[in-house]
Amino acid sequence: MASGQGLPTMVIAIDLGNISSGVAWAMLNAPNSKPKFVTGWETLSGNPSDDVKVPSTLYYGEAKNRNNLEWGFKVPDDRDVLSWFKHLIVDDKDLPDHIRFSPQLANAKRIMRKVQKTPVEIVGDYLKQLWLHSWEHITQSDGLGENPVINVLICITSPATWPSSARVRIIKALAHAGLLNYFPRDRFGLRFFTDISMAAFAAIDDHAERRGLELGDVIIACDAGGGTVDVVSYVVTSHDPFMVTEYTKADGKLPLHMSHIRTNVVTAGEMCGAIFLRDKFSAAVKPRISPGVRERVRDHALSKAIDHVWRSDISPFVHEEINGFDVKIPVALSTTADPKISIPIKVVRNQIYGPLVEKINNLLQEQIALATQTFRYSPEASLFVYRSSSYTNIIQLIILTGGFGLSPYLHKILVDRIPDVKLIMEAGQGAFFDDVKSHSGDDYVHHFTLKSDPIPDINDLEVDTIAMRRARKVEYQLQVLFDRERIWFSVYYKNACLGYRSIPFDRE
């Protein structure tokens, strides 16, 4: 954005979610600038929704009219409503088994074949609708007019486990949606962030000083979203400026005198997100509904009504001291004037929440064990191990984020299960904007070099390269050695040392 120097810069964050999506924006470096959130989504009722998230759903219409596209809150009650399409952008071989073989993804593929669309076209169609509404909302809210003379940096989320090929397809989907040509190239930039790193960086920035984090302390971020739960571990590597590094073991174990710090993340995934709470609740409620109601109401309509009851009347109150819930079935779906179903709180907590909370607890316990094992080596292993070896508990902070991660009941249970570690809930609001200003090392940064380039160059720590239309991921290793006097850094590629350098080790 060279020729845009001196112009104000607007950062627009697009959170493309599996279950729901959202858009936020802010002016970078403006005094007292805080992120604002796009709302006013169109609905079937005609009353705009004030939610900051809109469902990640598409409906292409009947076979004779596939151009009758509806999205978000406006999709009808139909079995061919397309959801979970975000994962279509990833090759099956790159998906974890719990997503690859899920019935939700199988249904998305069925609808994709039926409407004869490619994954890039489907994601692009959704992004186009999301963008058109969001840009109109942004310009009207800030009084900018249709063509404001500003720099625009679009930040978009992607799962930490996505390969480079998926990010390339997202760029193609953005092109299909018209975003890449929406602004002059010299005043436009595009950046990728991982879902989990946004909330982690925001929480760490907010809490680092007052929580007294030291070099070598480990922070675990748990992103419990709608469909999956991912866990990533970070180690504190610097105080001034405050910095953390994602870490993993290179080959499953660390040698006594050597540590490999790589650019990929320690991440674990499970299908235990918030959507499965709703599914379990639906499974508990439907048998209690009279057969007459179930016979005359389409299953999709009944599921949608139950979902509304779950989100508004049940899930926000599970942590409270109550005996149970009286679930009101909409009169239109019942044969009585005031239909009610009573569900004890024990059923909700033990049968609905219990299995999923246990899975999340197990993921966190595995990460705690991994981090503790990783950092239990000789002080000679690395700088980080030297500083952390004096701590009895190096896991200092667990950050819960995502829709399910912000559940007060989940937080309450995990505090009891992991009593020696501070747990905080982080909504991630403003994380994009904090990260743009203070973190650049681990981000996927995309920029245009030539107007003739079909897609942007990609620069990142994994060295993703674009050759023709094929993407390759080149992995390299940073070897860290400590000989009591100096720290040696060596770069390896294909088991060959490309170069090395050492610095004195200051024990103070």
The domain that holds 253 is classified in CATH as: 3.30.420.40
Please give the Cα distance from 271 to 243 (Å, whole number). 31
Number of structural domains (the chain) is 4
Name the domain boundary from 327, 352, 377. Answer: 352
DSSP 336-355: SSS-EEEEEHHIIIIIIIHH
Residue 330 lies in a domain: yes
Same structural domain, 179 and 131: yes
Name the domain boundary from 352, 377, 404. Answer: 352
Same structural domain, 364 and 327: no
Q: Select the highest-mean-pLDDT range: 107-121, 132-146, 177-191, 425-439.
A: 107-121
Residue-level pLDDT at 263: 28
Residue 477 has pLDDT above 90, yes or no: no
DSSP 286-303: GGGS-HHHHHHS-HHHHH
Residue 447 has pLDDT above 50, yes or no: no
The mean per-residue pLDDT over the stretch 447-458 comes to 34
Q: How confident is the model at residue 368 (pLDDT cuts 50, 70, 90)?
A: confident
Residue-level pLDDT at 123: 97
Q: Answer for the pair 500, 491: CB distance below 8 angstroms, yes or no.
A: yes
Q: Answer for the pair 188, 2: CB distance below 8 angstroms, yes or no.
A: no
Same structural domain, 171 and 92: yes
Amino acid letter, residue 184: P
Residue 335 has pLDDT above 60, yes or no: no
Residue 9 has pLDDT above 90, yes or no: no
The mean per-residue pLDDT over the stretch 248-275 comes to 37
How much is the mean pLDDT over the chain? 72
Give 342: exposed, middle or buried? Use CB within 10 Å, 0-12, 13-18, 19+: exposed
pLDDT per residue as tens digits for the range 224-250: 776 677 787 877 776 666 666 766 432
Residue 396 lies in a domain: yes
Same structural domain, 258 and 376: yes
Please give the residue range of the domain that contains residue 173. Answer: 2-183+443-470
Please give the Cα distance from 433 to 25 (Å, whole number). 8
Q: List all residues 6 or more positions away from 6 whose beta carbon is below 8 Å from its beta carbon.
A: none
Please give the Cα distance from 246 to 232 (Å, whole number). 7
Q: List all residues 6 or more positions away from 477 whose beta carbon is below 8 Å from its beta carbon.
A: 250, 260, 262, 491, 492, 493
Residue 188 lies in a domain: no
Cα–Cα–Cα angle for 124, 163, 431, rounded to 5 degrees? 70
CB atoms near residue 335 (< 10 Å): 11
Same structural domain, 16 and 157: yes
pLDDT per residue as tens digits for the range 66-108: 678 999 999 987 888 999 999 999 999 988 777 888 888 999 9
Residue 189 lies in a domain: no
The domain that holds 8 is classified in CATH as: 3.30.420
Residue 431 lies in a domain: no
pLDDT per residue as tens digits for the range 160-205: 677 878 888 999 999 999 998 888 888 888 888 776 666 666 666 5
pLDDT above 90: percentage of residues in the chain: 17
**More confident site: 372 or 419:** 419
Which spans in 444-494 are helix H?
A: none
Same structural domain, 160 and 248: no
Residues making up the chain, counted from first to last:
508
pLDDT per residue as tens digits for the range 276-318: 777 777 777 777 777 766 666 666 666 667 777 777 777 777 7
**More confident site: 115 or 453:** 115
Same structural domain, 247 and 370: yes
**More confident site: 129 or 399:** 129
Residue 504 has pLDDT above 90, yes or no: no
pTM, rounded to two decimals: 0.67
Same structural domain, 245 and 282: no
Selection from 182, 184, 213, 187 nearest residue 200 by Cα = 213
Same structural domain, 288 and 154: no
Residue 259 lies in a domain: yes
Name the domain boundary from 352, 369, 401. Answer: 352
Same structural domain, 126 and 178: yes
Residue 28 lies in a domain: yes
Same structural domain, 68 and 177: yes
Residue 28 has pLDDT above 60, yes or no: yes
Please give the Cα distance from 234 to 243 (Å, whole number). 10
Residue 383 has pLDDT above 50, yes or no: no
Same structural domain, 248 and 329: no
HEC per residue, 206-233: HHCCCCCCCCCCEEEEEEECCCCEEEEE
**More confident site: 474 or 45:** 45
Residue 256 lies in a domain: yes
Residue 257 has pLDDT above 70, yes or no: no
